[in-house]
Amino acid sequence: MTAILPPQQLSEEIDDIRKEIAARFDVHAALKPPVHITLFRPVSMRADMEQHLIKWLKPVGTQHEPFTQELENFDSFNNKTLFIHCIKNTFIHNLQKDVATVFNKNKIDPREVKGSSRFHPHITIAYRDVQPQVFETLWTEFKNRKLKRSFMVNHFTLLKHDGKKWQPFEEFQLHKPANLMLF
């Protein structure tokens, strides 16, 4: 999985929300991955391809400048997934598009996605193990709950599953070089 990981303090704050939901509603699946915004879904690949993927993703960081990502309120998908809404902006859209291009161009994932119009940046706080009746109660509580945060995105992370949980595997700094003017 390739993702943006918020800074530790914000991640802990969001994780506390996930833990509150897990304790009160007996839903725990969202606690497994780190707090993140997915740029490209999890894929299975041979270990000998990992270094190639790292090499292909490195230039993406040099094409993007750090940016501020805003988070605002809660939303849902399919009456099953509760998430924190990430305000879509040109910066995150372009970063996601470039990351997806690396996966698609190099045929890393057989489920190629044409374009990134389906990209809906979010931070999942409950999903998969949420039963319909539980979701209804959960959504009633969270649909009007307010949250507004922002953070600086200065890198994205390739995560690898170790058999138990997702671990950061490689970080890619965002550092678009300034245009040099020669006289």
Cα four-point dihedral sign 88, 92, 98, 100: negative
> Where in the chain are the domains?
2-173
For residues 88 and 82, what is the distance between their CA atoms, to the nearest angstrom? 17
Domain 2-173 is classified in which CATH homologous superfamily? Answer: Cyclic phosphodiesterase (3.90.1140.10)
At 109, is the pLDDT very low, low, confident or very high (cuts 50, 70, 90)?
Answer: confident
Name which residue leads in pLDDT, 173 or 163: 173
Please give the C-alpha separations between residue 158 and each of 20, 98, 176, in angstroms, as whole numbers: 27, 14, 19
Query: What b/e sequence results for 82-109 when a residue is b if at least 16 CB atoms lie within 10 Å of its CB, and e otherwise?
Result: bbbbbeeeebbeebbebbbebbbeeebb
Q: Say yes or no to pLDDT of 181 above 60.
A: no
pLDDT, tens digit (0-9, with 9 covering 90-100), for 43-63: 988 888 999 999 999 999 999
For residues 3 and 49, what is the distance between their CA atoms, to the nearest angstrom? 19
